[in-house]
Every structure is written in structure tokens, then in C-alpha cells.
A and B are shown apart, each in its own frame.
Chain A
Amino acid sequence: MTAMLWLPIAVLSAGALSVLAIGMGATPGRPIPCGLAKGVAAAAVLLALVLSAMTPEAVRPPLLRLDMLGGSIQLVFLAAAMPLLFVMTPGDEVPPALVLGSLIGMALVAAAGSLLMLFIGLELMSVPAYLLVARSRSTRAMEASVKYFFAGSAAGALFLMGMALHFSAAHSLDLASAPGPLGEAGLALMIAAALFKLGAVPLHFWLPDVYEASDPELAGFFSTGLKAAAALLLARLAGLSQGPILSILPWAAALTILFGAVVALRQQKLQRLLAYSSISHAGFMMLAVAAWARQGQASSAAGALFFYLAAYLFMSGGAFLWLKVSGFSSREQLKGLGRVRPADAAVLSVLLLALAGIPPTAGFAAKFLVFWEAFKAGLYVPLVLAGLGALLSLGYYLGLIRDMYFDEPMTAKVISEGRQDLDTAASSSVEAALGQRALVAAFAVLTVLLVVMPWLVDGLWAGGGR
């Protein structure tokens, strides 16, 4: 039965190899069938998704261990890859394979039973991400990719150093607490690496540039899939700690929430704004992790973290996809959109209201659950700060809605100048894609419908307060 643990990873790997094999058949006369590559990749992800939904909780020492938290978050990041694979327009077979490679790393993080596996997973999910950024269409993609690479390497180095300290304290790489100050220091370094990946303040500096230079759909995947995996990584490590780290983490979360919200207020470029908003949301994920760890890893808090990530997948993923479909890049261009393109404006408004956490959207339910768990964990002051962060974030979420509906439309010329940095062919083909529009609309509808999920799927939240 424990062999089941390898199955999603095996399927993803086989998918990645097959996608690469498709590319091998290309000759100068025969272009690479990118659609086929995307299809195979999507099929692999779908199969992995089904398999991991069926995978029971299991332990296969010494390397693998899949629990409820890992299993459910695995669903989130696998699902996050689907819209990316659906929307992306790769020039050859490599990008879909890279997405699968990144997913393998995430799946390893989810199922890791030892620090070694966590590290391999961390690196494996990151390296393809650097390459994916480099292959984005933006002129600044290469610069961002290099920046991402160095920041990611620093995180990797931190993790390795932490592992070394941990090993010297515990004489093992198992996922278990290491005694003494040495173990605590090692854990702190590893948690710093996880915070790096999550984009927590002050380790977030690479994130806005990377998200801005990436294609929107890719940034959406980073903000939902990679972030879910990073949150899981953080939870795995925070679960090992009993020491001062657990009392610092909520404050770091509050700082991240507030900082992301304040800086996002001033952003004029939409992708950069969403990047800072994703930093703010990372703070809420950290708060959920802190509440989970401080309550002795209560399953109800795990449920709150999972639901936050699941809701965020649709809200943030939807917002980035919306940017891709609409081709807009700056706040200016949104002005008066409610009159020019009412359907687009309505879809974005729903997504933004969800991101802001206004009922009746899943974003509200997600924030409520995190507040609820954080309160039970006794994190009163960070909680109030988080609430103020949510208030600040209204300034830009609601501000965008205000721009769309209450301002006069920009002239047609300015709108058509959108995304000057991209080749025009791509953005015009984007205009026509009906399927992509439907996908974004579906995301918006789901952000509303998901609101009932915490109350329907009761099993996940055993002890949630019955």
C-alpha cells in the first residue's frame, strides 16, 4: 500500500520524460507539436491529481511520509498547474516539461519523510522555475531569472546549512526535533529558507521583480502552486519546533501582511501589484501555519491552511489569468473598464473582492478560518495587525474596482497600447481565446461557490468546533 506514495511522483516523471521525447522527434521540416506536449503534460498532472486524491495517509520509512496536510496541499499545487498548462503558449516542448519537473519537486516536499527529501524537493521545484522565468516573453525576463536564481540559491544554501546544524545536533536527517540550541539554530535557518520561498518580509525582495517579469499565467502558478508548496515546507519545519521560532513566526506573519499591503498600495503596474498582494497573502498563510504549529498541529488548523491555499488558488490564479486574457499591464488601462467591457470588469471585481476577503466569497471564508484558528492559538495582537492589513489591502483591491467603475474610460488608443513589452502577435491571439476567458470566469464563479466548502466538507475539519 505504501507503494502508492511513489505513484503520483512516478506519473509526473513519466509525463515529463514523454514530453521531452515528443520534442526529440522534431526535425527542421517538422515543427514540434506543442499542443501535444501540453496535452501529455496536462494528462500526467490530471492522472497524478486523481492518484494523489486516492492516496491514503501512509508512511514509508525512511524517506516518505504522506499525511492529511501534505496530501491535501498536493491537490492544490497539482491543480494550480492545470490552468498554466492550458493557457501557456510554449515555443517548444521544454516549458511543459519544466512545469512537470517543478511539480515533482513539490510532490517530494509533500511526501517527504526526511529533511533530505525536503531539500531535494525544494531544489527540484525551484530550478525549473528559474528556467520558466527565463523563457518568459518580457524583456526583463532574463534579469529576473538571474535574480530569482541567486535568491533561490541563497535559500538553498540556508537550508543546507540548517540541515548540517540539525544533523550535528540530532545525528539524523529524520523529520524530528533536534535537541539543544544547535538544533534550534538549524531549524531557524531552514525556516528562513522556507520563508524565502514563500516571500515573507524581509526575504521577499526577489519576488516582485520575478512576478512582474514572468508571463502572467506563470506568475499565477508561482503565486498559487509554488506558494502552496512553500507553505507546506514551512509547516513541515514549523511542526518540528517548540522553541522561540513559534513565537516569532506570527509576528513575521503580521509584518508580511502589513508590508505587502502597504507597498501594494503604491503600485501602478498590475502584475507588480498582484505580486505584493501575494506577499500579503503569504502572511496569512504564515499565520495559519503558526496557529497550526502552536496548537500542537491541530487538524482544524491544517484545514484552515488548506482552505486558504485552495481559495487562494482560484482568487490569485484567476486574477493573474485575467491579466493574461485581457492583456492589461497598468492600472491606468483599467479606468472605465466597467463601461467598455462590463463582463471582464465584473469577473475581475469578483476576484478582487475575494482577494480582499469580502463576504460572500471564498476569500472571506479563508480569512475567517485563519482568524479563527489564530485566535484559538492565542495570537491576539498579530491577529489585530492582520485585520488592519486586510483593511489596508482594500485600498488597492477596492481601488481597482473604483478605477474600473467610477472613472471615465481611457481612450481606445491607450487600451490598445497594453503590454507594449510583449510581441503584439501574442496579445492579439490572446484576445480571441474564448476558452481562456471561460476559464477565468469559471475561476471567478468558483471563488464564490467555494465559500460553502468549509461547512460542507466537515471531515477535513474534524474538531473544527462541533
Chain B
Amino acid sequence: MSQGWLTLFWVLPAVGGLIALINRQGRWTSLVFSLATALYGLLLLGPASSGAWHVPVSSSSLAFGISYLLDCDGLSLSLCWLTAFLTVVCVIASWNKDFSRGYWAAFLFLESALIGVFLARDLFLFFVFWEAVLIPMFFIIGLWGMEGRRHAAMKFFLFTFFGSIFLLLGSIALVTRHHAATGVWTWDMVALKGPSGTAGILIFAAMALGFAVKIPLVPLHTWLPDAHTEAPAAGSVMLAGVLLKMGVYGFLRVLWPVFPQLSLELMPWLMLLAGVNVVYGALCAMAQKDLKRLIAYSSVAHLGFCLLGVVSRTPEGLLGGSLQLLNHGITTGALFLLVGFLYDRGHRRGLGDYGALYKRAPWLTFFFGFATMASVGLPGLNGFVGEFMSLIGVARVLPRFVFVGVLGVMMSAAYALPAYQSVFWDAEGKASVSAIVTDLDRREAGLLWVLCGAMLAIGLYPAPLLRVLEPFLLGLVSR
């Protein structure tokens, strides 16, 4: 019963993608199907949160212990919402673009694969969806991106595939070891238990490597600035908004339940990695002269922050880190969208190419400022809630790392605010193209009202969203 309804969730956009490929109204098709998927996702809240759909560990499976098993709890559902929401945003944001139908289909295929990743409970199925995400994104970057798209698309694919190989090998090792210990062949994430000792560490490391490329953890992050900068605006939104979350989601969904003990033992090391991400990402962002690249590096730092919370394995940290995943998706999605709108008008992205935009484009200035504030964690907006909770979580286990977190918050202000200032408020330089920039039109402003509204809503009253996230995450702690 539940399998059918959940299958519909990922099949719906895929069908839409196929239809978008074969008819001439690609953008209308993608709008209809992305909206339908988003609404359908909202309808799933009832059954998913009631636990009525929870599938018990079953032994029935196809060969090799692999089964087609989907599951949907609050964490999955909220990330699916994020995916569906941002897909709608991307479709509307690209509305005036004269792209071929493949573009519109690619976003629906991407959405389908992403929802599949978040719904899969079978590790094999998870891996298949994980890989399937690459193909539409590869084409989105490579076909509709900027000048360096050719190179960036390859780099994106190869880096992720590198991690995927280790993820696959680690999964095979995990399943085989589980069979050796229990005599049961299964790929069910809920049933799998990792071995202890050296074998456990090796398997953990292999799988974590696969996830780390996606997050991305320094030094595996070098695909990210290229991919985000060269992708079309909507592609960057999906990349930063959803694709990066897959890595942290992998930690939460796979590694934590499978290695409950080991993940606690390795916590200091993981936290160190996350802390390096926070600081290194921020330092890199400070050095950037390209607005899109700057936001890309800021994602490295922010995802490090999410991981910091998630790694602490305290209720606050897990909730804060997960909430921060959603927040970052909305906030950075909005920022990439705004840079895209700016680029559409001025055809430049350099910090020095603009100036005094507030005169010509007040709404653009307002929304960019709003999203920047959310990004640096201004209280009252969503970023603050997630970062604060993450820090509480960290403080409860390894207080030292709170300093890293606070440093990260300060540094985020140190790169984001000057960039905002130089583009929107400082006097125009000689090379400024601000004169040709027009303000947002109604469609664009409408999108940003929605995004900024979400930032404000989560910032003021995060409780409902936290309640959705709670069951799975608190379950991790009580184990």
C-alpha cells in the first residue's frame, strides 16, 4: 500500500520528464508536473508522520537480498519537500529562457531521482537513485551552463563517481559482513548493522568517502565551485539547494543507524573535518571576486556547519543540523537565483562590476540583503535557528568546537556583507554595468517573496518543521 503511494511520488516527475521530452510545451509540462509533485508531497505528510506506513523489516527480497523498499519519515519528507519546492522555483525562474525541451525534462528527471534518494530504504536502491541524479545534472551543467560548462560538467560527474565507487564497495562489504554475522542477506538500511573493529572502520570510511564528495568535505570539494559557477542559475539552485544535502543525508540515514557505536567513537575526527570545512570554506569565500563563486564557497562552509551539528549526535545538534540543511537549501537557493537574475541583466558576476545597484534595482537589493542576512544567521531568520541549535549540540559533546562554529558565523558575515555592500551599495566603479540593470519583474519578485517568506517563517516559528523532523532524529539518539 504505502509502497505504491511512495512510488508515485518519484514516478510522477519522471513521467512528467518523459512528457516534456516529447511535446512542444516543455515549460508548461514541467510546471504542471513539478507543482503536482509538490502538492502530492504535502499530502503525504499525514500518512508519513502518523507512522501508519512504516514498513517492518521484511525478509522477502529479490536476489542478493535486494528489495524494492521505500520509506518516508519526517526527514525524508522534508527533504522531498525542499526538492519539490525548489524544482517549482527553478521552473518558474527559468520561464523566460529560450531553452529546448530537454532543459525542462532534465529538471523533472533530476527531481525524480532526488526524491528517490530520499525515499529509498534499500541501500541498493539508494545507490541507484544516487547515481541517477548525476545524469540530468551533468546535462544541465554541460548544455545550458556558462563558458566553462564543458569542463565543470565532467569534473562534477567524475568527482561524484569517484566517491560512488567507494560507496558501492563499502555497501557490498557491509552487506556481506552483515550476512557473515547474521546469516541474512539484506540491503535494508534499518536491518543492517555494521561490524566493529578494523573492518567496521574501513567500511565506514569507504561509505563516508562517498558521502563526503557530495557534501563536499575539504579536500574533495574542488568540483563544487566550478559546477556551481558554470551551471545555469536554476542548476546552481538545485546543486546547492538539494544535491549537497544528499551527503549529509547519507550520514544521517545510513551511517548513523548502521554504525551507532562507531559513529560516536569517530565523532572527534568527523567534527574536525566538519570544522575544517567551516573555516576553509569561509576563507576561500573571502578571497573570491566572483559573486557566484563566493556563494559556492559559502556553501562549503555552511554544509560544514550542518555536519557539525549532525556529527554531535545530540538531539539539538541533529535537529539543528537537519533544519540547517533545509535552511541552506532555501537561502542559498534564493541567493543563486538572485545572482542569476543579476547576471541575466548585466552579464557580469564580478564583485567590482556593479555598484550602487540600490538606485536602479531596489527590490533586487532588498531581497539580496534579506537572503544574505539569513545566510549569515541573523536572529529572526531561519539560518540563526539551525546554527544555534547545532552549536548547542556541539557544546554538549565537544565544547571546543563551538569556537570553530562561532568563528564560522563571524567569518560568514565577513565575506557576505562586504560582497553585498560592494555590489549593491558602494559607489559605481569605472567598469560598472549597473546602468543597464533593471529591477526584478513581477514573476521574479513573486518567487523571492515566497522564498524570503519561508526564511522568515522558519526563523520565527520553526517548531512545526522541527516536529516533522523529530521522530527519526530523536530515534537515533535514544538508540
Tell me if B150 is interfacial: C-beta within 8 Å of chain A: yes
Tell me if A150 is interfacial: C-beta within 8 Å of chain B: no
> Are B143 and A464 touching (Cβ within 8 A)?
no
Tell me if A461 is interfacial: C-beta within 8 Å of chain B: yes
Instruction: State the CA gap A372–B127 with chains docked (Å).
Output: 14
- State the Cβ distance, A328 to closest chain B Cβ, in Å: 20
Answer whether A375 and B161 are a contact pair too, CB < 8 Å, given A402-B153, A465-B63: no
The residues of A that contact B142 with a CB separation of less than 8 Å are 402, 405-406
Partner of B172, one of A372, A394, A402, A458: A372
Instruction: State the CA gap A376–B65 with chains docked (Å).
Output: 14
The residues of B that contact A455 with a CB separation of less than 8 Å are 62-64, 66
The residues of A that contact B62 with a CB separation of less than 8 Å are 455, 458
> Are A394 and B63 touching (Cβ within 8 A)?
no
The residues of A that contact B176 with a CB separation of less than 8 Å are 375-376
Instruction: State the CA gap A337–B166 with chains docked (Å).
Output: 33
Tell me if A4 is interfacial: C-beta within 8 Å of chain B: no
Partner of B150, one of A364, A395, A406: A406
Count of chain B residues with Cβ under 8 Å from any Cβ of A? Answer: 33
> Are A359 and B169 touching (Cβ within 8 A)?
no
Chain A, 361-380, CB within 8 A of any chain B CB: 364, 368, 371-372, 375-376
The residues of B that contact A78 with a CB separation of less than 8 Å are none
Tell me if A353 is interfacial: C-beta within 8 Å of chain B: yes
The residues of A that contact B63 with a CB separation of less than 8 Å are 454-455, 458, 461, 464-466
Q: Encode contact with A along B149-170: 1 for CB under 8 Å, 0 otherwise.
A: 1100110011001100110110
> Are A465 and B64 touching (Cβ within 8 A)?
yes
The residues of A that contact B179 with a CB separation of less than 8 Å are 465
Tell me if A21 is interfacial: C-beta within 8 Å of chain B: no
Stretch at the interface among A26-34, A192-200, A385-393: A385-393
> Are A359 and B128 touching (Cβ within 8 A)?
yes
Tell me if B118 is interfacial: C-beta within 8 Å of chain A: no
Residue of A nearest to B141 (CB): A406
Tell me if A418 is interfacial: C-beta within 8 Å of chain B: no
- State the Cβ distance, B186 to closest chain A Cβ, in Å: 9
Tell me if B290 is interfacial: C-beta within 8 Å of chain A: no
- State the Cβ distance, B223 to closest chain A Cβ, in Å: 13
Instruction: State the CA gap A372–B175 with chains docked (Å).
Output: 10
- State the Cβ distance, A265 to closest chain B Cβ, in Å: 12
- State the Cβ distance, A455 to closest chain B Cβ, in Å: 4
> Are A464 and B153 touching (Cβ within 8 A)?
no
> Are B158 and A353 touching (Cβ within 8 A)?
no
Tell me if A384 is interfacial: C-beta within 8 Å of chain B: yes
Stretch at the interface among B89-97, B130-138, B458-466: B130-138
Tell me if A90 is interfacial: C-beta within 8 Å of chain B: no
> Are B172 and A371 touching (Cβ within 8 A)?
yes
Answer whether A391 and B64 are a contact pair too, CB < 8 Å, given A353-B135, A359-B127, A465-B185: no
Partner of A466, one of B139, B153, B161, B185: B185
Instruction: State the CA gap A360–B173 with chains docked (Å).
Output: 21
The residues of A that contact B134 with a CB separation of less than 8 Å are 358
Instruction: State the CA gap A368–B64 with chains docked (Å).
Output: 11
Instruction: State the CA gap A461–B62 with chains docked (Å).
Output: 11
- State the Cβ distance, A174 to closest chain B Cβ, in Å: 34
Instruction: State the CA gap A464–B61 with chains docked (Å).
Output: 12
Instruction: State the CA gap A358–B137 with chains docked (Å).
Output: 14
Residue from the set A353, A375, A406, A461 with the largest chain B CB neighbour count within 10 Å: A406
Answer whether A360 and B143 are a contact pair too, CB < 8 Å, given A376-B176, A383-B169, A402-B154: no
Chain A, 410-466, CB within 8 A of any chain B CB: 454-455, 458, 461, 464-466
Instruction: State the CA gap A27–B192 with chains docked (Å).
Output: 73
- State the Cβ distance, A95 to closest chain B Cβ, in Å: 39
> Are B150 and A391 touching (Cβ within 8 A)?
no
Tell me if A35 is interfacial: C-beta within 8 Å of chain B: no
Tell me if A143 is interfacial: C-beta within 8 Å of chain B: no
> Are B65 and A465 touching (Cβ within 8 A)?
yes
Residue of B nearest to A460 (CB): B63
Instruction: State the CA gap A463–B352 with chains docked (Å).
Output: 65
Instruction: State the CA gap A399–B168 with chains docked (Å).
Output: 23
Task: Give the dominant DSSP class at A's interface.
Answer: helix
- State the Cβ distance, A415 to closest chain B Cβ, in Å: 20
Interface size class of A (residues with CB under 8 A): 20 to 34
Q: Encode contact with A along B55-69: 1 for CB under 8 Å, 0 otherwise.
A: 000000111111000
Answer whether A405 and B139 are a contact pair too, CB < 8 Å, given A455-B63, A465-B185: yes
The residues of B that contact A406 with a CB separation of less than 8 Å are 142-143, 149-150, 153
Partner of A372, one of B64, B139, B153, B157: B64
Partner of B132, one of A359, A398, A466: A359
Residue from the set A372, A384, A398, A461 with the largest chain B CB neighbour count within 10 Å: A398
> Are B128 and A375 touching (Cβ within 8 A)?
no
The residues of B that contact A464 with a CB separation of less than 8 Å are 63-64
Residue of A nearest to B128 (CB): A359
The residues of B that contact A391 with a CB separation of less than 8 Å are 158, 161-162, 165
> Are A371 and B168 touching (Cβ within 8 A)?
yes
> Are B158 and A395 touching (Cβ within 8 A)?
yes
Residue of B nearest to A461 (CB): B63
> Are A407 and B168 touching (Cβ within 8 A)?
no
- State the Cβ distance, A221 to closest chain B Cβ, in Å: 30
The residues of B that contact A353 with a CB separation of less than 8 Å are 135
Residue of B nearest to A338 (CB): B143
Instruction: State the CA gap A461–B176 with chains docked (Å).
Output: 16
The residues of B that contact A466 with a CB separation of less than 8 Å are 61, 63, 65, 185
Instruction: State the CA gap A296–B390 with chains docked (Å).
Output: 52
Instruction: State the CA gap A372–B168 with chains docked (Å).
Output: 10
- State the Cβ distance, B119 to closest chain A Cβ, in Å: 16
Partner of B131, one of A359, A383, A458: A359
The residues of A that contact B138 with a CB separation of less than 8 Å are 398
> Are B154 and A364 touching (Cβ within 8 A)?
no
Instruction: State the CA gap A371–B206 with chains docked (Å).
Output: 15
The residues of A that contact B162 with a CB separation of less than 8 Å are 391
Instruction: State the CA gap A406–B132 with chains docked (Å).
Output: 20
Residue from the set B63, B143, B149, B161 with the largest chain A CB neighbour count within 10 Å: B63
- State the Cβ distance, B114 to closest chain A Cβ, in Å: 15
Residue of A nearest to B21 (CB): A346
The residues of B that contact A368 with a CB separation of less than 8 Å are 168
Instruction: State the CA gap A244–B54 with chains docked (Å).
Output: 51
Instruction: State the CA gap A407–B169 with chains docked (Å).
Output: 34
> Are B64 and A387 touching (Cβ within 8 A)?
no
> Are B127 and A371 touching (Cβ within 8 A)?
no
Instruction: State the CA gap A394–B160 with chains docked (Å).
Output: 12
Answer whether A364 and B131 are a contact pair too, CB < 8 Å, given A394-B161, A405-B143, A406-B149: yes
- State the Cβ distance, A177 to closest chain B Cβ, in Å: 29
Instruction: State the CA gap A383–B176 with chains docked (Å).
Output: 15
Instruction: State the CA gap A391–B168 with chains docked (Å).
Output: 13
Residue of B nearest to A360 (CB): B128
> Are B154 and A399 touching (Cβ within 8 A)?
yes
The residues of A that contact B168 with a CB separation of less than 8 Å are 368, 371, 387
> Are A388 and B165 touching (Cβ within 8 A)?
yes
Chain B, 44-90, CB within 8 A of any chain A CB: 61-66
Instruction: State the CA gap A360–B61 with chains docked (Å).
Output: 19
Chain B, 168-190, CB within 8 A of any chain A CB: 168-169, 172-173, 176, 179, 185
The 8 closest A-B pairs by CB, nearest first: A387-B165, A465-B64, A455-B62, A465-B185, A359-B128, A406-B142, A359-B131, A406-B150
- 28 A-B Cβ contacts within 8 A? A358-B131, A358-B134, A358-B135, A359-B128, A360-B132, A364-B128, A368-B168, A375-B173, A384-B169, A387-B165, A387-B169, A388-B165, A390-B161, A394-B157, A395-B154, A402-B154, A405-B142, A405-B143, A406-B142, A406-B150, A406-B153, A454-B64, A458-B62, A464-B63, A464-B64, A465-B64, A465-B179, A466-B63
Beyond the given pairs A372-B172, A391-B161, 10 more chain A to chain B contacts, judged by CB atoms under 8 angstroms and listed by A's residue number, are A371-B169, A375-B172, A376-B176, A383-B169, A388-B165, A402-B142, A406-B149, A461-B63, A465-B64, A466-B185
